[in-house]
Structure formats: C-alpha cells, structure tokens
Amino acid sequence: MSTQIITASRKKCHLNGILNYEAMGEKTLFQPLTKEDRITVILYRTGIFISTSVIAICAYIALEISRSGPEAYSSVTSGLTLDILLLVLYFSVGLSVFFIHLYVGKFYRMLKKIYYVAVVCLAVLFLIGHGNPLIPLFRTPPISSLLLIPISLCLGFVTAKEAFCFRLIEGYLLAVIMPAYLFFYSVGALSGNAALFGLLFIAVMLVFFMLRKIFMPIHFDIGDKSAYQP
C-alpha cells in the first residue's frame, strides 16, 4: 500500500512538472542540497550572467559604432573582439543549456538538440566567412543572421523557463523578441536605427532578467528531485 502511495505521489509530481512546473518554481527546500546541486546551479547561472554580459557589450559596441561612424565599424569588424565575444556567447549559453534543471526529460533533450544545431550553424558561419564568422553577419541583406536563431532559441528557452517558474515576465518577452529580431534583421526589414534600438532593448531586458535571477537562493532551481524525469 505504501509503495502505491509513493508511486501515485510521484506520478502527481510528474504531472505537475509537465503542466506547470509548480514544484520546480516552488521556493520550499524539498531536500538538502548536495555539492553537485550547488555547482550545477552556479554554472547554470554563470551561463546566464556571461550571456547577458556579452550581449550588453555587443549592444554598447553597436552604440559606439553608430556614434563614431564607418571608421569605428571597420576597426571593430576587422579585429578579433567580436569573434571572441561570439564564441564566449555560445560557450555561456551552453553552460545554461547543459546545467539547467528541468522536470520533463524530453524538454531537456530537445533543448540540447537545438544547441547542437546552433553549434553547427556557428561552424557554417566560420565556413562561409572563411574563418571570420562576422563577415556574413554584416552583408546586405545579412541573411546569414538566420544562423544565429538557434542560439537565440536556446537562450530564449532559458528565459521562458524562468518566467514560467518564477514569474519573471520579461523572460517570455525575450524568448519571443530575440529570434524575431534576428529574423527581421536578417531579411533587411530593420533600418540601422531600428536594429540598434532593438539590440539595446534586448540587452536592457536581459540585464533586468539576469539581476532578478542570479541572486535567488540556490535551492529555488532544484525543486523536488523525486519528480525529475530521465
């Protein structure tokens, strides 16, 4: 009888996880945290912090380029600064993807597959840019920017998950705006000023999201581990 009760209880937790992540977003400490729990949450949040920092830096660089003119544009795009930032962005998003805590196993597997696609897209950018992935992104129209959509979907999944669990509503907005921005930018639907404003808006929203997320108690991200699905 007790086994049946435990099984029924776990099935209920699975159902809650599938429907609304209630336990994952619960602020109750369900079980003592292990060292692994703490490390994985720190790595996950580090990924969010670095990703936000990279996008904020890119927004600042874009703003300076708009103020300084073509000379600043040439110096930035011909150097390694943005190349390094792009690689760091992929690494940091990967941290969040591989150390995210999700109840529903199929969501986690789907997220990792999207990240693998994003890495392939990055390799394609290096290939068509002959070693410089930025060159295709600044062509007119910058259709190659579509290759950045998978990585934006990964980051958007993270922000949406946090929005769902902890009512960080800006996370939902970011999940929609980031890939939409890249799509409209890639087809040339955004003017220079509109593209700059969009990037600055995304950066500000991410900073706001990041500050609200990374200072949460660590156990918020763990939830009830008995409800995790493989």
Q: How far is CA 112 from the centre of its chain?
A: 12
List the pLDDT tens digit at each of the 230 positions of the chain. Answer: 344 433 444 444 444 444 444 444 556 666 788 899 899 999 999 999 999 999 999 999 888 888 876 565 565 555 678 889 999 999 999 999 999 988 888 999 999 999 999 999 999 999 998 888 888 888 877 899 999 999 999 999 999 999 998 889 999 999 999 999 999 999 989 988 999 999 999 999 999 999 999 999 998 888 777 777 77
**What is the spatial distance between Cα 181 and Cα 18, in angstroms, rounded to a whole number?**
29
Is-contact 93 151, C-beta < 8 A?
yes
What's the number of CA atoms in the CB half-sphere (13 Å) around residue 181? 22
**What is the spatial distance between Cα 100 and Cα 46, in angstroms, rounded to a whole number?**
11
**What is the spatial distance between Cα 21 and Cα 14, in angstroms, rounded to a whole number?**
9
**What is the spatial distance between Cα 64 and Cα 81, in angstroms, rounded to a whole number?**
14
What is the pLDDT at residue 26? 57
* Type of residue found at 31: Q
Decide: residue 17, CB within 10 A, 0-12 exposed, 13-18 middle, 19+ buried.
buried
What's the number of CA atoms in the CB half-sphere (13 Å) around residue 200? 12
What is the pLDDT at residue 93? 98
Q: Which residue in this structure is represented by tokens 């949040």?
A: 45
What is the pLDDT at residue 70? 59
What is the pLDDT at residue 78? 59
pTM for this structure?
0.85
Is-contact 39 73, C-beta < 8 A?
no
**What is the spatial distance between Cα 183 and Cα 68, in angstroms, rounded to a whole number?**
27
